[in-house]
Amino acid sequence: MLRSRLPAPVDWLVAAVVALFALAEELSGRTMAPARESLPFWVAAGILAAVGVLFRRRAPFGVLVVYSAANVAAFALSRELPAAWQFYTQLVLLFTLLSEVPARSVKAGVGVAATGAYVAAMMATSSPEAGPGDYAVALVMTAIAAGAALAVRRHRVLAVQAAERGELLAREAVAEERARLARELHDIVAHSVSVMTMQSGAVRLMLLDDQRREREALTTVEQAGHEALIELRRMVGLLRGPELDRLTPQPGLDRLDELFEQVRSAGLEVKYEVHGEPVPLSAGLDLSAYRIVQESLTNTLKHAGPTRAAVTVTYRPRELRLQIADEGPAEGHARGPSAGGGHGLIGMRERAALFQGTLTAEPCPPRGFRVEAVLHL
C-alpha cells in the first residue's frame, strides 16, 4: 500500500519541470516584469512548490488549498507581480484534484473556488492592469485544465467499470460451465450407480435360502443405491436447465466423426489423426475430451471462418493429449476478435482441470491458432 502511494516516475518528471521553470524564470529575470526584491525567498518558494507537485497525488485537495492560500496571501501582502510558473503550477494542482475526486464532491467545489480566488488575486495585482483579454486567457486555460481532468477521471471510471464487468462475465462463464459439467458428470455417476444397484439386486435374487447374511448385505447396498439415485436425480433436476433433454446420450471421442461432418458442412476442412494405442476412457474423461475438441473447432469457425484444421489425439501410458490447430483465416481475411480468449477457453480449462490436466491456447505462426490439452488418465 505504501509503495503504491510513492511518487511515480511521471510525478518526478512534472515536479522537475515545475522546479526548472520556476528557477529559470526567477533567476534569469521575467519578461516584461521587474526583478524580485526578495529573490532567495521566491527561489525557495519555487522549490517548495515543486515538492508539493511531487506529492500532490497523496493529498491533492490539501496541496491545492495550501498552495492557493499561500499565493493569495503573497499577492495581498507583497507588491511583486505574480510569475507565470505560479499560475501553471496552480493549473497542474487543479487538474490533479479534479482527476482524483468526483466532480460533484465538496472537495472539487472548494478546489475550483480556490483556483478562482487565485486567478482573481493574480489579475488584481498584475501590472499593467489586466484587461478583458487577460481574463479570457486565464479562464480558458483554467477551463482546459478542469475539462481535461474531468475527461481523465471519466476514462478511469469507465476502465474500472469495464474491468469489473469483464470479471463478472468471466465468473458467470465459469459458473455456467461448472454447472454444465456437474450436470454431465451427475448423469454419468447416476448411470454407474444404477448399474451397481441392478447388479446387486440380481446377485441377491441368485442367493440360496440359507445365505441370509449375504442377502441382508446386498439388500443394504441395493437400498443405499436407490437412495443415492433419488438424491442424484434431485440434484440433476436442480442443475439442469429446461432446455436440456434428460435422455440425450453424452458423446465421446468415438463420435468425433459425426462432429467432423458437421463442421465440414460449415466449411471447415478437418484432418484427423490418432497416435498411440487407444485405451478405454472413463465416461467423464471421454466426454471432456470430446467437448474440448468440439469447442476448439467451434472457435475456429467463429474466429477464422472456413479454413483448414488438424485434430490430433495421442494416447500415452498415463495421459491423453489433444491438439487442435488451424491455419488461420483465408488470404485477405482477418481473424475475428478475441481469438485467444473468451468463455469457450474458460470452459475448456475447467474441463482440463477436472482431470488435473492443463490446456494451452496460443497463436500458431503465421496466422493460425492452436489449442493443446493434456488430460491425465
Kindly state whether residues 19 and 106 are assigned to the same domain: yes
Is residue 348 domain-resident?
yes
Mention every residue, 6+ apart, whose C-beta is less than 8 A from residue 256: 272, 290, 293, 311, 313
Kindly state whether residues 203 and 118 are assigned to the same domain: no
Chain center to CA of 183: 28
Kindly state whether residues 200 and 112 are assigned to the same domain: no
Q: What's the pLDDT at 138? A: 87
* Grid coordinates of 367: 496466422
Kindly state whether residues 10 and 91 are assigned to the same domain: yes
Is residue 95 domain-resident?
yes
What is the sign of the dihedral through the CA atoms of 12, 15, 21 and 27? negative
Query: Taking Cα atoms as reference points, which of 319, 344, 321 lies closest to residue 180?
Result: 344
Total count of domains within the chain: 3
SS (H, E, C) 130-153: CCHHHHHHHHHHHHHHHHHHHHHH
End-to-end CA distance of the chain: 45
Residues 350 and 337 sit within 8 Å (Cβ to Cβ): no
Q: What's the pLDDT at 2? A: 41
Query: Taking Cα atoms as reference points, which of 269, 274, 237 lies closest to residue 254?
Result: 274
Domain endpoint, select from 214, 239, 264: 239
Kindly state whether residues 310 and 347 are assigned to the same domain: yes
In 37-71, which positions are buried (b, 16+ CB within 10 angstroms) versus exposed (e)? eeeeebeebbeebbebbbbbbeebbebbbebbebb
Is residue 349 domain-resident?
yes
* Grid coordinates of 137: 486567457
* Grid coordinates of 268: 471447415
User: Can you give the pLDDT of all 377 residues of the chain as single tens digits?
Assistant: 344 567 889 989 999 999 998 888 888 765 555 666 777 888 898 899 999 999 998 899 999 999 999 988 888 887 667 788 888 999 999 999 999 888 889 999 999 999 999 888 888 887 667 778 878 888 899 999 999 999 998 998 888 888 888 787 777 777 777 677 666 666 667 667 777 777 777 787 888 878 888 888 888 887 887 777 777 666 665 555 544 444 445 688 999 999 899 888 878 899 999 999 999 888 778 888 998 998 898 888 888 878 899 999 999 988 999 999 999 887 655 655 544 445 578 778 888 888 889 999 999 888 889 999 999 88
User: How far apart (Å, rounded) are the C-alpha atoms in residues 340 and 306?
Assistant: 18
Residues 202 and 298 sit within 8 Å (Cβ to Cβ): no
Kindly state whether residues 235 and 288 are assigned to the same domain: no
Kindly state whether residues 193 and 285 are assigned to the same domain: no
Type of residue found at 57: R
* Grid coordinates of 217: 448385505
Kindly state whether residues 277 and 361 are assigned to the same domain: yes
Is residue 122 domain-resident?
yes
Mention every residue, 6+ apart, whose C-beta is less than 8 A from residue 257: 272
Domain endpoint, select from 208, 239, 270: 239
Kindly state whether residues 204 and 119 are assigned to the same domain: no
* Inter-CA distances, 315 with 71, 270, 271, 360, Å: 78, 20, 17, 18
Q: What's the pLDDT at 34? A: 61
Is residue 141 domain-resident?
no
Kindly state whether residues 230 and 302 are assigned to the same domain: no
CA angle 268, 271, 276 (to 5 degrees): 145
* Grid coordinates of 273: 489423426
Domain endpoint, select from 106, 130, 154: 130
Residue 170: exposure state from Cβ atoms within 10 A (0-12, 13-18, ≥19): middle
In 182-209, which positions are buried (b, 16+ CB within 10 angstroms) versus exposed (e)? ebbbbbebbeebeebbeebbeebeeeee
Overall pTM > 0.85: no
* Grid coordinates of 345: 477457453
What's the CATH number where 348 sits?
3.30.565.10
Is residue 139 domain-resident?
no
Kindly state whether residues 230 and 263 are assigned to the same domain: no
Kindly state whether residues 274 and 191 are assigned to the same domain: no
Query: Taking Cα atoms as reference points, which of 86, 56, 85, 93 lies closest to residue 71?
Result: 86
User: How far apart (Å, rounded) are the C-alpha atoms in residues 358 and 44?
Assistant: 62
Domain that holds residue 26: 2-130
Is residue 156 domain-resident?
no
Q: Which CB contacts under 8 angstroms, 24+ apart, belong to 153-160?
A: 153/98, 153/99, 153/100, 153/102, 153/103, 156/99
Is residue 26 domain-resident?
yes
